[in-house]
Structure 1
Amino acid sequence: MEEGKICRTNPESSDQVKAVHMLLVSYPLQGHITPFIKLAYLIAGRGIMATLVITEFAHARMIASEPDLGNERNKVRYITVPDGLSEDERNDDVKLSQSISEVMPGHLREVIEKVNMEGNQVTCVIADPMFGWAFEIAETMKLKLAIFWTSAPGVLALILSIPKLIEDGIIDTKGSSKLDGKIQLSPDLPPLTSADFLWNYSGNQTPAEIMFQYFFGIHQNLKRSGWLLCNWFHELNPLVGNLVPNMFPVGPLLASGKPAANLWPEDLTCLSWLNKQPAGSVIYVAFGSITVLSQHQMDELALGLELVGRPFLWVKRSDLIKGGSSKYPDGYEERVANRGKIVQWAPQEQVLAHPSIACFLTHCGWNSTMDGLSMGVPFLCWPYFADQFYNRSCICNGYKVGLALSPDEYGIVTRHEIRRKLDSLVADDGIKVNALKLKDMAHRSISEGGFSARYLDNFIQQMKE
């Protein structure tokens, strides 16, 4: 594919659209791409030209999974750039990050210059907070710069508080914790223990000091922009805004029937299957794009779902198992055939909005958390990586819309634990009431006159000035 190739042109041509042109630059992983494209839809829906810059590889997977992604009616265009990697290297997170920081900056500058020559002048760059080089380009080209924070309020609060944590002696300059007990960064966020400090996550193979420097770099980048867009709604954590000026919570971001920029093809047969299930009966199981399990753990999950005796829809990626393909327990597929549906990827918003869904067994990624909150679905939490553990605390202890699974002494979540917690969750009327309250709150916020709608309108107005 030609470098800097524009994959689709925006059909709008009015003076209003040309006046403001927002260029969105996303990290090329599913958890970042999805909220970026949802934000682009939201901006385009306000009559503003929105262009998403994405790597060639990620765009090719997106188009293969969702051919309708480039449809004119979606009003968002895409520009692709190389990532400088071979097929095998893309599975290495360190190499991916290094290559992007080396290869993409030059291409981004060329993209902006090329787009400007076409007459649709770029006026604003909306970038991932880890892309410090994008900020430098925007600054040297005298463009307005906004950061889009795709994770949770508590994670933002933690990163913004790093200098204060160092000053107070809670952590040292390498991120090592001296905390004995808990701290609370905002009155409407659950308390933090040292285990909640992202750089201390024990499952990460990268040393904690390197991870700390990575997050401290994000902290430095966050200070460079006058605007910070966030994928949550004000009412969810009203006091987080006190930590940073110029914050614009514009979520929950929803695709609302448009392609969600998936890197895996959605299996739409699950929707017709859901239509045949009783209301409030189905357990939806999905662990996002990066969670991996051992074969032993997958067996326990499969058998736990069988023990519950309820219908279940399980999103099971082909690469869910560490080091190879997975196998089901002997005779499993035959035993659950009448009440279990297993797919590789699902249209998550549509699934969670379906009346047959009873609860969501999730890895607690922030995109999935926002999807579940928006649809009023109770959560059963099974975090895998980094901020997902703190998101679990928010879901269970802060928002009180879910329960957490507990591993045994060997680190395994057993089939019996899965059955016990699922039984408790679906019987908990208090959690159901809280979930529906948050659903109503979320949808009021993105409706005309709501907090998120007004924040977005205010942001766009500032981009026009």
Structure 2
Amino acid sequence: MDTQLASAKRSHAVCMPGPYQSHIGAMLKLAKLLHTKGFDISFVNTEYNHRRLLKSRGPRALDGFHGFQFLTITDGLPPSDADSSQDLMALSDAVRNNMSAPFSDLISNLNHAASNSDVPPVTCIFSDGFMSFATSEAAQEFGIPIIQLWTIPACAFMGYKQYRTLQEKGFTPLKVGPLSLLVNKLVQEESPLKSIDCNLWTEDTECLRWLDSKEPKSVLYVNFGSIAVLTREELIEFAMGLANSEHPFLWIIRPDLVSGDSAVLPREFLEETEGRSMYADWCPQEAVLNHLSTGGFLTHCGWNSVIESVSSGVPMICWPSFGDQSTNCAYACSKWEIGLELSGVVKREEVEKLVRDLMEGDKGKQMKERITEWKKLAQEATEPNGSSSINFDKLLNEFLP
């Protein structure tokens, strides 16, 4: 009885990310922050992504620990052992049509198990905004508060939702990030949370040692994220543009980066860039962006990447692909002036020009000064009395029981 009383006083959050690399990463940061505030965490991945994480991180990586467990639900798609991102449209359909019932069953099972353990019943759900099709019915069925985490900027979110009612009630704007800096402040080095990560590909840390050998702010980091796909022609144009820029670069080339083909780079490109280039399937992005040798970021402009780039003080070359990325690019380049846009058909001459402008031009210097100020503001916001820290506590105190 004492155990049941103790568990009843604790909060138990079920965290359900979208089944995509960057969405899992953002939700995991939020889950870590919730755990530092005393929450028990049940972190839910699809079975497909759970298998990929075990393959990437090791067979015991998702064992979790007391108060922080990893669970799975099916996405209803055909089984696959592929080490690549699932088809975006098929996965979107699966979220809408297949995952609501399995998620409700998971909540029911957690509540049932709570009667025989010291883990409290579910008290709240933190759902990726794009997973509402899978999570909202369960929240309504069990009478559990649900909070949505949108992994896109407010300027893009405005295109999906209307804020008028929330504004009239004084609930917005709530500014919950940069989550990565909040995690760095609240999660102690000795905490077991530090060892939990969510990369679906194995990280190559050799690139960090390679960066150690380069001059400060001299390396361009190139990563198009976990979903964007290049054609063979685009791969070659990017490659030759990087070669002709004569700047050192670290290029992340996923196994599934090139559509319907392997990412085979031209021999003349490899010969031209020998000694000033490094390649990896995947990498610890925040560590790369925070490395002293990283001076620029050629990115697909996903919101996680933009936030991490700003938090690290690294200006961008933006090549958006889909979703909110075009909006992010427009703001980064035109309004905030911390990025340069690569638009339309990829041409090596344009890639070369933008790399030179960013890494050595006057406009690049201005962007570096501006984004350094933004980095300072982000760090101040995540201090104990900063706006992000205050708003995170406000979220927990005002919206949750």
TM-score, length of structure 2 as denominator length? 0.86
Q: SS of the counterpart of 1:77?
A: strand
Which of 18, 22, 26 is matched with 2:13 structurally? 22
Q: SS of the counterpart of 1:122?
A: coil
- CA deviations 1:274-328 (Å, max 9, x no partner) are 1111111000000001111121211111111111112110001111111111221
Distance verdict in 2 for CA 1:107–1:31, change over 3 Å: same
- CA deviations 1:392-430 (Å, max 9, x no partner) are 1111122211111244xxx2x222211111111123322
| Counterpart contact for 1:285–1:314, Cα < 8 Å | yes
Greater mean deviation of Cα atoms: 390-399 or 361-370: 390-399
Q: SS of the counterpart of 2:43?
A: strand
Q: What is the distance in 1 between the residues matched to 2:121 and 2:394?
A: 21
> 1:77 aligned to 2:69?
yes
Greater mean deviation of Cα atoms: 435-444 or 87-96: 87-96
**1:51 partner amino acid:** S
Q: What is the distance in 1 between the residues matched to 2:298 and 2:168?
A: 32
Q: What is the distance in 1 between the residues matched to 2:243 and 2:89?
A: 38
| Counterpart contact for 2:297–2:314, Cα < 8 Å | yes
Distance verdict in 2 for CA 1:39–1:49, change over 3 Å: same
Q: What is the distance in 2 between the residues matched to 1:336 and 1:39?
A: 40
State the shift of 1:337 in Å: 2.3
Q: What is the distance in 1 between the residues matched to 2:393 and 2:206?
A: 38
> 1:50 aligned to 2:41?
yes
- Counterpart in the other structure of 2:385: 449
**2:150 partner amino acid:** W
The residue correspondences of 1:133-148 to structure 2 (distance < 5 A) are 133-148=134-149
> 1:417 aligned to 2:350?
yes
State the shift of 1:244 in Å: 7.7
Paired residues, number: 375
| Counterpart contact for 1:284–1:313, Cα < 8 Å | yes
The residue correspondences of 1:153-172 to structure 2 (distance < 5 A) are 153-161=154-162
State the shift of 1:39 in Å: 0.9
Q: What is the distance in 2 between the residues matched to 1:370 and 1:75?
A: 29
State the shift of 1:14 in Å: 10
Q: What is the distance in 1 between the residues matched to 2:357 and 2:23?
A: 33
Q: What is the distance in 1 between the residues matched to 2:32 and 2:303?
A: 19
Distance verdict in 2 for CA 1:84–1:128, change over 3 Å: same
- Counterpart in the other structure of 1:6: none
**1:49 partner amino acid:** D
The residue correspondences of 1:430-445 to structure 2 (distance < 5 A) are 430-445=366-381
Q: SS of the counterpart of 1:430?
A: helix
**2:332 partner amino acid:** I
- Counterpart in the other structure of 1:8: none
Greater mean deviation of Cα atoms: 121-130 or 347-356: 121-130
Distance verdict in 2 for CA 1:310–1:243, change over 3 Å: farther
Q: What is the distance in 2 between the residues matched to 1:270 and 1:27?
A: 28
Which of 333, 336, 347 is matched with 1:399 structurally? 336
Distance verdict in 2 for CA 1:380–1:52, change over 3 Å: same
- CA deviations 1:70-100 (Å, max 9, x no partner) are 3646963211112221146983333323333
| Counterpart contact for 2:125–2:146, Cα < 8 Å | yes
Distance verdict in 2 for CA 1:74–1:339, change over 3 Å: farther
State the shift of 1:69 in Å: 4.0
| Counterpart contact for 2:19–2:46, Cα < 8 Å | yes
Q: SS of the counterpart of 2:179?
A: coil
Q: What is the distance in 2 between the residues matched to 1:405 and 1:381?
A: 6
- Counterpart in the other structure of 1:36: 27
**2:105 partner amino acid:** E
Distance verdict in 2 for CA 1:154–1:69, change over 3 Å: farther
- Counterpart in the other structure of 1:127: 127
Q: SS of the counterpart of 1:83?
A: coil
Q: What is the distance in 2 between the residues matched to 1:278 and 1:74?
A: 44
Distance verdict in 2 for CA 1:160–1:345, change over 3 Å: same
- CA deviations 1:317-372 (Å, max 9, x no partner) are 11111111122112332332211001111100000000000100001011111110
The residue correspondences of 1:174-253 to structure 2 (distance < 5 A) are 245-253=171-179
**2:55 partner amino acid:** A
Q: What is the distance in 1 between the residues matched to 2:170 and 2:204?
A: 41
Distance verdict in 2 for CA 1:17–1:446, change over 3 Å: farther
> 1:382 aligned to 2:319?
yes
- CA deviations 1:164-207 (Å, max 9, x no partner) are 9xxxxxxxxxxxxxxxxxxxxxxxxxxxxxxxxxxxxxxxxxxx
State the shift of 1:243 in Å: 10
- Counterpart in the other structure of 1:64: 55
Q: SS of the counterpart of 1:146?
A: strand
Q: SS of the counterpart of 1:324?
A: coil
Q: Between the two proteins, what is the percent identity of the paired residues?
A: 31
State the shift of 1:242 in Å: 7.8
Gaps of 5+ in 1: 1-12, 165-222, 227-240
State the shift of 1:18 in Å: 5.2
> 1:269 aligned to 2:270?
no
| Counterpart contact for 2:100–2:137, Cα < 8 Å | no
Q: What is the distance in 1 between the residues matched to 2:386 and 2:301?
A: 26
TM-score, length of structure 1 as denominator length? 0.75
Greater mean deviation of Cα atoms: 367-376 or 114-123: 114-123
Distance verdict in 2 for CA 1:389–1:463, change over 3 Å: closer
Q: What is the distance in 1 between the residues matched to 2:335 and 2:66?
A: 36
Q: What is the distance in 2 between the residues matched to 1:306 and 1:74?
A: 50
Greater mean deviation of Cα atoms: 307-316 or 61-70: 61-70
Distance verdict in 2 for CA 1:281–1:33, change over 3 Å: same
Distance verdict in 2 for CA 1:97–1:158, change over 3 Å: closer
Q: What is the distance in 1 between the residues matched to 2:144 and 2:67?
A: 22
State the shift of 1:63 in Å: 2.0
Q: What is the distance in 1 between the residues matched to 2:199 and 2:366?
A: 34
| Counterpart contact for 2:315–2:339, Cα < 8 Å | yes
Gaps of 5+ in 2: 115-119, 185-193
Q: What is the distance in 2 between the residues matched to 1:74 and 1:361?
A: 40
Which of 249, 260, 281 is matched with 1:323 structurally? 260
